[in-house]
């Protein structure tokens, strides 16, 4: 990985643009205001945006709090899987079933306090700030595409491992919010309340079930079932070598837009390995909590090879209706991907392959991946 400060002057692609002023001050206090000088301009931008967010949050609360509070939620469908395992591709495919599902989009997850008031106006005003493709994989990106819901409770509760991408010197402190193990109950409840309120707001807006995708949810099955006992889950897995390399690329592309402190690039590979461990240790421990009829599993290879059949099997296993009506829209979307080319990486060296095969052995064994 390069040692240069990539995208140093960029203020776009930063999820903190949706934080409110009070929460921004709290986050800065937690990190002792330790924003490195090379990123002071980003902190200034977030500060400016946070004031506007606070204003519109008050307005949105006055207009919608009662209506959102009365909204009933249909059981969501959660897409589980480690980062860079195909969760976004699967999310985009299912999101084409607009007759049955809604989804949080890029604008909404970064503006969870204000999107009911500001989305229509700001998605036009600030569209220039969003690149046409994602920096790590060239998939289409704009304010309207499906996006990870994790950013919303992150900004609403400040209980998320993603805060470690902004303050990498405290990344280990925020990592506890991946599984929420040994986290005080008050903090767990803050996160759960934030996620529930965000889902209520989306349900109020769309009046249909949500399909939600966030890799950290893979380690929180118990918490999700506490909130949504009838939720359905689909888990997608991918060859661990490919996951590792794609995560390396992700850190060397997308994460640079979020830093408020200089990262220690020498620690990134170990962080990838350790985080994978924590996520899948929790997943394997909690997977059986999901009723069989509410859980489906697939591989990225089968989704890539035959997405029509993979999605059909998912609908059948989870007893989802409307597939035949949805299929033409699904096929039309797949046709638009004909020219898409995923990232290609050189083969890992032998020492790294052996280390991953050893460290992530259970995944190799569980899904019969060759080492």
- In tens, the pLDDT along 39-51 reads 999 999 999 999 9
Name 351's Cβ contacts closer than 8 Å, sequence gap at least 6.
none
Distances in Å between the Cα of 37 and the Cα atoms of 34, 48, 167 are 9, 17, 13
Tell whether 2 is covered by a domain. Answer: no
Residue 5 lies in a domain: no
Rounded CA separation 231/77 (Å): 6
6 lies in some domain: no
Query: Does residue 1 lie within any of the structural domains?
Result: no
Average of pLDDT values for 107-126? Answer: 93
Residue 140 within any structural domain of the chain: yes
Tell me if 3 is assigned to some domain: no
Q: Which residues contact 144 (CB under 8 A, 6 or more apart)?
A: 105, 106, 107, 123
Q: What mean pLDDT is predicted for residues 298-323?
A: 97
Domain coverage including residue 226 = 15-366
* DSSP labels, 228-276: -TT-EEEEEE--HHHHHHHHHHHHTTGGGGT-SS---GGGHHHHHHHHH
- Note whether residue 96 is domain-resident: yes
pLDDT in tens, 216-260: 999 999 999 999 999 999 999 999 999 999 999 999 999 999 999
Are 146 and 105 in contact by the 8 Å Cβ rule? The answer is yes
Asked if the structure places residue 4 within a domain, the reply is no
**Number of compact structural domains in the chain:** 1
For residue 296, the surrounding DSSP H or E stretch is strand 295-299
User: Which residues neighbour 243 within 8 Å (Cβ) at sequence distance 6 or greater?
Assistant: 82, 83, 84, 85, 276
CATH of the domain at 232: 3.40.50.300
Sequence length of the chain is: 371
| Whole-structure pTM value | 0.95
pLDDT score of 129: 63
Residues 188/195, Cβ–Cβ less than 8 Å: no
């Amino acid at each position: 990985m390069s040692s240069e400060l990539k995208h140093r002057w960029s203020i776009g692609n930063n999820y903190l643009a949706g934080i409110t002023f009070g929460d921004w001050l709290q986050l800065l206090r937690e990190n002792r205001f330790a924003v490195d000088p090379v990123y002071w301009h980003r902190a200034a931008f977030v500060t400016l945006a946070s004031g506007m967010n606070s204003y519109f949050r008050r307005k949105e609360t006055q207009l919608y709090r009662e209506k959102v509070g009365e909204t009933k939620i249909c059981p969501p469908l959660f897409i589980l899987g480690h980062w860079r395992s195909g969760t976004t591709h699967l999310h985009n495919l299912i999101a084409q079933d607009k007759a049955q599902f809604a989804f949080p989009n890029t604008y909404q997850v970064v503006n969870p306090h204000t999107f009911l008031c500001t989305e229509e106006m700001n998605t036009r005003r600030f569209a220039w700030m969003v690149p046409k493709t994602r920096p790590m994989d060239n998939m289409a990106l704009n304010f309207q595409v499906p996006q990870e819901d994790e950013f919303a409770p992150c900004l609403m509760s400040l209980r998320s491992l993603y805060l470690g991408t902004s303050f990498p010197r405290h990344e280990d402190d925020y990592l506890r919010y991946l599984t929420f193990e040994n986290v005080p109950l008050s903090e767990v409840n803050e996160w759960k309340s934030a996620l529930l309120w965000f889902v209520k707001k989306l349900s109020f807006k769309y009046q249909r079930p949500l399909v939600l995708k966030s890799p950290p949810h893979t380690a929180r099955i118990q918490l999700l079932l506490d909130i949504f006992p009838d939720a359905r889950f689909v888990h997608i897995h991918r060859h661990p070598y490919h996951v590792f390399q794609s995560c390396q690329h992700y850190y060397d592309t997308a994460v640079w837009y979020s830093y408020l402190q200089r990262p220690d690039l020498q620690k990134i590979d170990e962080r990838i390995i350790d985080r994978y461990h924590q996520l899948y240790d929790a997943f394997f421990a909690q997977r059986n909590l999901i009723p069989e009829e509410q859980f489906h599993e697939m591989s990225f290879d089968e989704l890539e090879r035959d997405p029509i059949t993979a999605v059909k099997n998912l609908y059948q296993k989870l007893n989802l209706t409307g597939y035949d009506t949805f299929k033409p829209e699904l096929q039309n979307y797949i046709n638009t991907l004909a020219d898409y080319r995923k990232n290609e990486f050189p083969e890992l060296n032998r020492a790294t392959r052996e280390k991953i095969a050893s460290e992530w052995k259970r995944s190799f064994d569980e899904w019969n991946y060759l080492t």
